[in-house]
Amino acid sequence: MYRMQRPAAVAGTWYPGDARALAAAVEQHLADVTHEVAGDLVALVAPHAGLMYSGPVAAHAYAQLRGRRFDVVVIVGPSHFVGFSGVAVVPRGGFETPLGVAPIDEDCAQALMRAAPIVREHPTAHAREHSVEMQLPFVRHLLPTATIVPLVMGYQTAETARALGDALGDVLYARDALIVASSDLSHYQPASTAAALDGVVTDCVARFDADRLQDALEARPDHACGGGPMVATLRAAKLLGAKDAVVLEYADSGDVSGDKSAVVGYMAAALGTFSKP
Protein backbone atom coordinates (compact mmCIF):
# COMPACT_ATOMS: atom_id res chain seq x y z
CA MET A 1 0.00 0.00 0.00
CA TYR A 2 1.44 3.36 -1.06
CA ARG A 3 1.38 5.96 1.70
CA MET A 4 2.52 9.34 0.49
CA GLN A 5 4.01 12.06 2.66
CA ARG A 6 4.43 14.44 -0.22
CA PRO A 7 7.24 16.97 0.23
CA ALA A 8 6.41 20.55 -0.69
CA ALA A 9 7.59 21.12 -4.26
CA VAL A 10 7.60 24.93 -4.50
CA ALA A 11 8.05 26.11 -0.89
CA GLY A 12 10.82 28.67 -0.71
CA THR A 13 10.35 29.68 -4.35
CA TRP A 14 6.68 30.24 -5.13
CA TYR A 15 5.91 31.09 -1.51
CA PRO A 16 7.96 31.53 1.69
CA GLY A 17 9.42 28.32 3.05
CA ASP A 18 9.48 29.59 6.63
CA ALA A 19 6.29 29.16 8.65
CA ARG A 20 6.34 32.60 10.23
CA ALA A 21 7.09 34.39 6.96
CA LEU A 22 4.42 32.40 5.13
CA ALA A 23 1.74 33.08 7.73
CA ALA A 24 2.61 36.79 7.63
CA ALA A 25 2.39 36.88 3.82
CA VAL A 26 -0.98 35.11 3.81
CA GLU A 27 -2.32 37.38 6.53
CA GLN A 28 -1.13 40.47 4.70
CA HIS A 29 -3.07 39.45 1.60
CA LEU A 30 -6.17 38.64 3.66
CA ALA A 31 -5.97 42.00 5.45
CA ASP A 32 -6.60 43.78 2.15
CA VAL A 33 -9.97 42.03 1.67
CA THR A 34 -13.11 43.52 3.18
CA HIS A 35 -15.91 41.90 1.15
CA GLU A 36 -17.32 38.69 2.63
CA VAL A 37 -20.46 36.90 1.46
CA ALA A 38 -23.03 35.81 4.03
CA GLY A 39 -24.74 32.45 3.86
CA ASP A 40 -23.79 28.85 3.10
CA LEU A 41 -20.44 28.45 1.33
CA VAL A 42 -19.95 25.33 -0.78
CA ALA A 43 -16.97 26.00 -3.05
CA LEU A 44 -14.28 28.47 -4.04
CA VAL A 45 -12.35 29.20 -7.21
CA ALA A 46 -8.80 30.46 -6.62
CA PRO A 47 -5.65 30.91 -8.72
CA HIS A 48 -2.42 29.01 -8.23
CA ALA A 49 0.47 31.19 -9.39
CA GLY A 50 3.28 32.33 -7.10
CA LEU A 51 1.91 33.84 -3.90
CA MET A 52 3.30 37.28 -4.74
CA TYR A 53 1.38 37.35 -8.02
CA SER A 54 -1.91 35.56 -7.42
CA GLY A 55 -2.07 35.82 -3.62
CA PRO A 56 -3.91 39.16 -3.67
CA VAL A 57 -6.68 37.57 -5.77
CA ALA A 58 -6.71 34.21 -3.98
CA ALA A 59 -7.16 36.09 -0.72
CA HIS A 60 -10.55 37.35 -1.93
CA ALA A 61 -11.68 33.73 -2.16
CA TYR A 62 -10.12 32.56 1.08
CA ALA A 63 -11.30 35.55 3.09
CA GLN A 64 -14.71 33.90 2.84
CA LEU A 65 -13.44 31.25 5.29
CA ARG A 66 -13.08 33.71 8.16
CA GLY A 67 -15.50 32.64 10.85
CA ARG A 68 -16.32 29.34 9.10
CA ARG A 69 -15.17 25.78 9.63
CA PHE A 70 -15.03 22.73 7.39
CA ASP A 71 -13.93 19.18 8.16
CA VAL A 72 -12.46 18.47 4.73
CA VAL A 73 -11.25 20.57 1.80
CA VAL A 74 -11.30 18.89 -1.61
CA ILE A 75 -8.85 20.67 -3.92
CA VAL A 76 -9.14 20.07 -7.66
CA GLY A 77 -6.35 21.34 -9.88
CA PRO A 78 -5.01 20.70 -13.39
CA SER A 79 -1.93 18.66 -14.24
CA HIS A 80 0.85 20.86 -15.65
CA PHE A 81 3.56 18.22 -16.08
CA VAL A 82 2.02 14.77 -16.62
CA GLY A 83 -0.50 13.80 -19.29
CA PHE A 84 -3.01 11.12 -18.33
CA SER A 85 -6.69 10.26 -18.48
CA GLY A 86 -8.91 10.75 -15.47
CA VAL A 87 -8.15 12.28 -12.08
CA ALA A 88 -5.17 11.52 -9.84
CA VAL A 89 -5.80 11.29 -6.11
CA VAL A 90 -3.42 10.78 -3.23
CA PRO A 91 -5.69 8.63 -1.04
CA ARG A 92 -3.62 8.49 2.16
CA GLY A 93 -0.80 10.21 3.98
CA GLY A 94 -0.39 13.97 3.82
CA PHE A 95 1.09 16.98 2.06
CA GLU A 96 3.98 18.71 3.81
CA THR A 97 3.79 22.51 4.12
CA PRO A 98 5.71 25.09 6.16
CA LEU A 99 2.52 25.39 8.23
CA GLY A 100 2.49 21.68 9.07
CA VAL A 101 1.35 18.56 7.29
CA ALA A 102 -2.06 18.75 5.65
CA PRO A 103 -3.47 15.27 6.40
CA ILE A 104 -5.47 13.47 3.74
CA ASP A 105 -9.02 12.39 4.49
CA GLU A 106 -8.61 8.72 3.61
CA ASP A 107 -12.29 7.84 3.99
CA CYS A 108 -13.38 10.64 1.66
CA ALA A 109 -10.68 9.82 -0.88
CA GLN A 110 -11.65 6.16 -0.95
CA ALA A 111 -15.32 7.08 -1.33
CA LEU A 112 -14.47 9.21 -4.38
CA MET A 113 -12.51 6.34 -5.91
CA ARG A 114 -15.49 4.07 -5.45
CA ALA A 115 -17.92 6.64 -6.84
CA ALA A 116 -15.91 7.36 -9.99
CA PRO A 117 -13.45 4.85 -11.50
CA ILE A 118 -11.72 7.77 -13.25
CA VAL A 119 -10.39 8.82 -9.81
CA ARG A 120 -7.35 6.69 -9.04
CA GLU A 121 -3.86 6.76 -7.60
CA HIS A 122 -1.16 8.32 -9.77
CA PRO A 123 1.68 9.52 -7.50
CA THR A 124 3.79 10.89 -10.36
CA ALA A 125 1.08 13.37 -11.28
CA HIS A 126 1.37 14.97 -7.83
CA ALA A 127 5.14 14.95 -7.40
CA ARG A 128 5.94 18.32 -9.04
CA GLU A 129 2.42 19.68 -9.38
CA HIS A 130 1.80 23.11 -7.84
CA SER A 131 -1.92 23.57 -8.53
CA VAL A 132 -2.98 21.82 -5.33
CA GLU A 133 0.03 22.90 -3.29
CA MET A 134 -0.53 26.62 -3.92
CA GLN A 135 -3.89 26.42 -2.14
CA LEU A 136 -2.40 24.94 1.02
CA PRO A 137 -0.89 28.10 2.57
CA PHE A 138 -4.39 29.62 2.77
CA VAL A 139 -6.08 26.34 3.74
CA ARG A 140 -3.58 25.57 6.51
CA HIS A 141 -3.66 29.14 7.83
CA LEU A 142 -7.44 29.46 7.94
CA LEU A 143 -8.55 25.84 8.48
CA PRO A 144 -5.66 24.28 10.42
CA THR A 145 -7.66 21.26 11.61
CA ALA A 146 -9.21 20.38 8.24
CA THR A 147 -8.16 17.36 6.24
CA ILE A 148 -7.71 17.53 2.48
CA VAL A 149 -8.41 15.45 -0.60
CA PRO A 150 -5.87 16.40 -3.33
CA LEU A 151 -7.11 15.83 -6.88
CA VAL A 152 -5.25 16.56 -10.12
CA MET A 153 -7.16 16.35 -13.40
CA GLY A 154 -5.30 15.00 -16.42
CA TYR A 155 -6.80 15.45 -19.87
CA GLN A 156 -9.62 17.90 -19.26
CA THR A 157 -12.39 16.30 -21.28
CA ALA A 158 -16.05 17.11 -20.80
CA GLU A 159 -16.61 13.50 -19.72
CA THR A 160 -13.96 13.71 -17.01
CA ALA A 161 -15.27 17.01 -15.67
CA ARG A 162 -18.82 15.70 -15.63
CA ALA A 163 -17.92 12.42 -13.93
CA LEU A 164 -15.84 14.14 -11.27
CA GLY A 165 -18.50 16.75 -10.59
CA ASP A 166 -21.17 14.08 -10.17
CA ALA A 167 -18.93 12.01 -7.88
CA LEU A 168 -18.11 15.02 -5.71
CA GLY A 169 -21.82 15.77 -5.42
CA ASP A 170 -22.55 12.20 -4.34
CA VAL A 171 -19.67 11.78 -1.90
CA LEU A 172 -19.67 15.19 -0.24
CA TYR A 173 -23.42 15.46 0.32
CA ALA A 174 -23.23 14.15 3.87
CA ARG A 175 -19.85 15.70 4.70
CA ASP A 176 -18.92 19.13 6.05
CA ALA A 177 -16.81 19.82 2.97
CA LEU A 178 -15.47 22.70 0.92
CA ILE A 179 -14.43 22.30 -2.71
CA VAL A 180 -11.66 24.46 -4.15
CA ALA A 181 -11.17 24.69 -7.91
CA SER A 182 -7.57 25.71 -8.58
CA SER A 183 -7.16 27.58 -11.87
CA ASP A 184 -5.43 30.50 -13.47
CA LEU A 185 -7.09 32.03 -16.55
CA SER A 186 -5.46 32.99 -19.86
CA HIS A 187 -1.68 32.86 -20.14
CA TYR A 188 0.85 35.31 -21.61
CA GLN A 189 -1.51 37.50 -23.63
CA PRO A 190 -1.47 41.30 -23.70
CA ALA A 191 -3.63 42.54 -20.83
CA SER A 192 -6.41 43.75 -23.13
CA THR A 193 -6.60 40.39 -24.90
CA ALA A 194 -6.45 38.57 -21.58
CA ALA A 195 -9.31 40.64 -20.19
CA ALA A 196 -11.51 39.68 -23.15
CA LEU A 197 -10.66 35.98 -22.90
CA ASP A 198 -10.98 35.95 -19.12
CA GLY A 199 -14.28 37.83 -19.27
CA VAL A 200 -15.85 34.82 -20.95
CA VAL A 201 -14.86 32.63 -18.00
CA THR A 202 -15.86 35.08 -15.30
CA ASP A 203 -19.23 35.53 -17.00
CA CYS A 204 -19.86 31.77 -17.09
CA VAL A 205 -18.94 31.46 -13.43
CA ALA A 206 -21.08 34.45 -12.44
CA ARG A 207 -23.99 32.85 -14.29
CA PHE A 208 -23.26 29.53 -12.49
CA ASP A 209 -23.35 27.85 -15.89
CA ALA A 210 -21.09 24.79 -16.07
CA ASP A 211 -22.31 23.77 -19.53
CA ARG A 212 -21.65 27.21 -20.99
CA LEU A 213 -18.18 27.20 -19.46
CA GLN A 214 -17.50 23.76 -20.93
CA ASP A 215 -18.57 25.00 -24.37
CA ALA A 216 -16.29 28.03 -24.06
CA LEU A 217 -13.35 25.84 -23.07
CA GLU A 218 -13.92 23.49 -25.99
CA ALA A 219 -13.91 26.48 -28.34
CA ARG A 220 -10.84 28.05 -26.74
CA PRO A 221 -8.94 25.79 -24.30
CA ASP A 222 -6.58 28.68 -23.57
CA HIS A 223 -9.31 30.41 -21.57
CA ALA A 224 -8.01 28.70 -18.41
CA CYS A 225 -5.46 26.07 -17.42
CA GLY A 226 -7.88 24.62 -14.86
CA GLY A 227 -11.09 24.85 -16.84
CA GLY A 228 -11.98 21.21 -16.22
CA PRO A 229 -11.62 21.55 -12.45
CA MET A 230 -13.82 24.65 -12.58
CA VAL A 231 -16.52 22.86 -14.56
CA ALA A 232 -16.44 19.91 -12.16
CA THR A 233 -16.66 22.24 -9.19
CA LEU A 234 -19.60 24.20 -10.63
CA ARG A 235 -21.45 20.93 -11.27
CA ALA A 236 -20.69 19.57 -7.81
CA ALA A 237 -21.63 22.79 -6.03
CA LYS A 238 -25.02 22.85 -7.72
CA LEU A 239 -25.61 19.20 -6.77
CA LEU A 240 -24.71 20.12 -3.19
CA GLY A 241 -27.41 22.77 -3.08
CA ALA A 242 -25.53 25.94 -4.04
CA LYS A 243 -27.75 28.49 -5.77
CA ASP A 244 -25.46 31.52 -6.13
CA ALA A 245 -22.10 32.27 -7.71
CA VAL A 246 -20.15 35.45 -7.01
CA VAL A 247 -17.01 36.56 -8.81
CA LEU A 248 -15.12 38.28 -6.02
CA GLU A 249 -12.05 39.62 -7.81
CA TYR A 250 -10.24 39.64 -11.13
CA ALA A 251 -6.71 40.82 -11.85
CA ASP A 252 -3.68 39.85 -13.90
CA SER A 253 0.00 39.35 -13.19
CA GLY A 254 0.81 42.74 -14.67
CA ASP A 255 -0.94 44.39 -11.73
CA VAL A 256 1.98 43.16 -9.62
CA SER A 257 4.86 43.06 -12.11
CA GLY A 258 3.95 46.20 -14.01
CA ASP A 259 4.39 44.33 -17.32
CA LYS A 260 1.09 44.32 -19.19
CA SER A 261 2.53 42.92 -22.43
CA ALA A 262 2.13 39.22 -21.50
CA VAL A 263 0.00 38.52 -18.44
CA VAL A 264 -1.68 35.64 -16.63
CA GLY A 265 -5.27 36.18 -15.53
CA TYR A 266 -6.52 35.42 -12.04
CA MET A 267 -10.06 35.09 -10.67
CA ALA A 268 -11.52 34.50 -7.22
CA ALA A 269 -15.09 33.25 -6.89
CA ALA A 270 -17.44 31.75 -4.31
CA LEU A 271 -20.30 29.30 -4.81
CA GLY A 272 -23.04 28.71 -2.29
CA THR A 273 -26.39 30.08 -1.15
CA PHE A 274 -25.80 33.63 -0.09
CA SER A 275 -27.88 36.25 1.66
CA LYS A 276 -28.53 39.31 -0.44
CA PRO A 277 -27.24 42.62 0.96
> For a pLDDT cut of 70, what percent of the chain falls above it?
98
Alpha-carbon dihedral sign for residues 153, 171, 97, 2: negative
pLDDT at 213: 96
Residue 99 has pLDDT above 60, yes or no: yes
Q: What is the mean pLDDT of residues 129-158?
A: 97
Q: Is residue 74 within 8 Å of 177, Cβ to Cβ?
A: yes
2 assigned to some structural domain: no
What's the domain range around 135?
14-274
Residue 276 has pLDDT above 80, yes or no: no
137 assigned to some structural domain: yes
What is the count of structural domains for the chain? 1
pLDDT at 34: 87
> Residue 2: pLDDT band by 50, 70, 90 thresholds?
very low
**pLDDT tens digits along 179-193:** 999 999 999 888 999
User: Which candidate, 94, 100, 87, places its Cα nearest to that of 168?
Assistant: 87
DSSP summary character for residue 67: T
pLDDT at 222: 80
186 assigned to some structural domain: yes
Could you tell me the pTM of the whole model?
A: 0.96
Q: What is the mean pLDDT of the chain?
A: 95
DSSP summary character for residue 135: G
Residues in the chain: 277
Centre a 10 Å sphere on the Cβ of residue 277 and count the other Cβ atoms it contains.
5
85 assigned to some structural domain: yes
Q: Is residue 147 within 8 Å of 103, Cβ to Cβ?
A: yes
Q: Is residue 26 within 8 Å of 56, Cβ to Cβ?
A: no
**pLDDT tens digits along 65-98:** 999 999 999 999 999 999 999 999 999 999 999 9
Alpha carbons 183 and 174: distance in angstroms, whole number: 26
Domain CATH code at residue 266: 3.40.830.10
**Antiparallel, parallel or unpaired: β 4-6 and 93-95:** parallel
